[in-house]
């Protein structure tokens, strides 16, 4: 096997069935990174507890998300796919790291302030420690590289600081300062054409939806608001349907829409029907693979079990080094 460039770690909350935004923003990248790195992908169920009120769906959501990852090309033979809480060493490391973490820095983070704004009735202790737990995730597995979107950049910078404090405080080198791999995430808008695609806004298109469901969602997409009548010329440059054509349609269709929309040669319904057809075509192999995987009842559990066994070996070794560095008796 060829030598890889190092270890990648990434975590994602168990949000259930994934949508086009998740795919273009994260999953595609997860799949591609496997070529050059040893990858560890973690479903962060403990992080989810900071905001989730109802834990009833955690297991189901984990299962659905893993199926999407696998169908998209995450390869569990090489990549470690596991659930955060299955490797409890992370909570121990979290506690130790919390001792070198200044409280004021945590409460100053924009991500924390945002959470407080969003759930003022539930400002729990876990929410404050969120970035410490995230740091524990990364350093427990000695990750060299963490792919993150811009929203998580402050957390990664923070993780680097904690690692430096720890290594300095205990005069050691056991923890590795992770590098940030800034992933260029295309901003995928929802079918409303305004907000970022997301489950909570119900403006998303699920990867695992049927072709019919997908078509119905696409036909609901908001287009150029200035184009009211079929005979009005449209402006593809500001139309989300055109943006999506550029991602999923063959070049000939993109060129056609780019010309015909501007001169009202095609209408929005026609344009969307074409996009739905192309999108369904692109997703077909994924959907077939997903159904096949889903029909094997215990497959996901087995993969997660194997993943946590492999993850735990790394984790136990790191914790031994950490305990020694800290000189715990
Ligand atoms: N904080 C990340 C998010 O909300 C999830 C996460 C947890 C993570 N641990 C991580 C991301 C470690 C990268 C590395 O999306």
Instruction: Give kind and range of the element (H or E) at residue 153.
Output: helix 153-169
Domains identified in the chain, total number: 2
Which CATH number belongs to the domain containing residue 83 in this structure? 3.40.50.620
Task: Give yes or no for residue 44 CB within 6 A of ligand 1.
Answer: yes
Please state the pTM of the whole predicted model. Answer: 0.95
Question: Do residue 23 and residue 166 come from a single domain?
Answer: yes
- Domain hosting residue 275, numbered range: 209-291
If you average pLDDT over residues 201-218, what whole number do you get?
Answer: 98
Question: Do residue 19 and residue 144 come from a single domain?
Answer: yes
Structure tokens belonging to residue 22 = 């998740």
Give the nearest ligand 1 atom to 44 CA. 7
Give whole-number Cα distances, 259 to 22, 242, 264, in Å.
Answer: 30, 11, 9
Per-residue pLDDT, 141? 97
Residue bearing the bigger pLDDT, 148 or 280: 280
Task: Give yes or no for residue 137 CB within 6 A of ligand 1.
Answer: yes
Question: Do residue 132 and residue 228 come from a single domain?
Answer: no
Per-residue pLDDT, 296? 97
Separation of CA 134 and ligand 1 centre (Å) = 6
Probe ligand 1: pick from 94, 137, 162, max atoms within 8 Å of CB?
137
Question: Do residue 320 and residue 224 come from a single domain?
Answer: no
Question: Do residue 313 and residue 287 come from a single domain?
Answer: no
Question: Do residue 242 and residue 322 come from a single domain?
Answer: no
pLDDT digits (tens, 9 = 90+) for 132-149: 999 999 999 999 999 988
Per-residue pLDDT, 144? 97
Per-residue pLDDT, 2? 56
Query: pLDDT over 70 for what percent of the chain?
Result: 99
Question: Do residue 161 and residue 119 come from a single domain?
Answer: yes
Q: In what order do the strands lie in the sheet with 145-148?
A: 80-83, 38-43, 7-12, 145-148, 179-182
Question: Do residue 181 and residue 280 come from a single domain?
Answer: no
Question: Do residue 22 and residue 155 come from a single domain?
Answer: yes
pLDDT digits (tens, 9 = 90+) for 58-109: 999 999 999 999 999 999 999 999 999 999 999 999 999 999 999 999 999 9
């Amino acid at each position: 096997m060829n030598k890889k460039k190092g270890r990648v770690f990434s975590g994602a909350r168990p949000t259930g069935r994934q949508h086009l935004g998740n795919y273009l923003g994260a999953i595609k990248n997860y799949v591609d990174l496997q070529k050059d790195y040893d990858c560890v992908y973690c479903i962060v169920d403990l992080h989810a507890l900071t905001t989730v009120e109802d834990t009833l769906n955690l297991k189901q959501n984990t299962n659905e998300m893993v199926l999407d990852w696998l169908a998209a090309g995450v390869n569990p033979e090489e990549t470690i796919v596991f659930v955060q809480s299955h490797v409890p060493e992370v909570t121990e490391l979290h506690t130790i790291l919390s001792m070198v973490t200044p409280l004021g820095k945590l409460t100053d983070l924009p991500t924390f302030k945002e959470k407080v704004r969003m759930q003022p009735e539930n400002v729990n202790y876990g929410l404050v420690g969120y970035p410490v737990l995230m740091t524990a995730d990364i350093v427990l597995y000695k990750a060299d590289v963490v792919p993150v979107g811009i929203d998580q950049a402050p957390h990664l910078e923070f993780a680097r600081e904690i690692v430096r404090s720890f290594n300095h405080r205990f005069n050691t080198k056991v923890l590795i300062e992770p590098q940030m791999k800034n992933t260029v995430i295309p901003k995928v808008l929802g079918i409303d054409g305004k907000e970022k695609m997301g489950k909570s806004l119900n403006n998303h298109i699920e990867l695992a939806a049927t072709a019919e469901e997908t078509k119905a969602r696409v036909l609901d997409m908001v287009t150029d608001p200035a184009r009211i009548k079929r005979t009005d010329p449209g402006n593809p440059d500001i139309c989300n349907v055109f943006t999506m054509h550029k991602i999923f349609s063959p070049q000939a269709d993109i060129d056609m829409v780019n010309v015909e929309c501007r001169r009202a040669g095609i209408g929005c319904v026609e344009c969307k029907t074409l996009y739905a057809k192309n999108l369904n075509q692109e997703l077909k192999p994924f959907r077939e693979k997903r159904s096949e995987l889903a029909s094997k009842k215990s497959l996901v559990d087995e993969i997660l079990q194997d993943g946590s066994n492999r993850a735990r070996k790394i984790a136990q070794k790191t914790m031994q080094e950490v305990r020694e560095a800290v000189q715990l008796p």
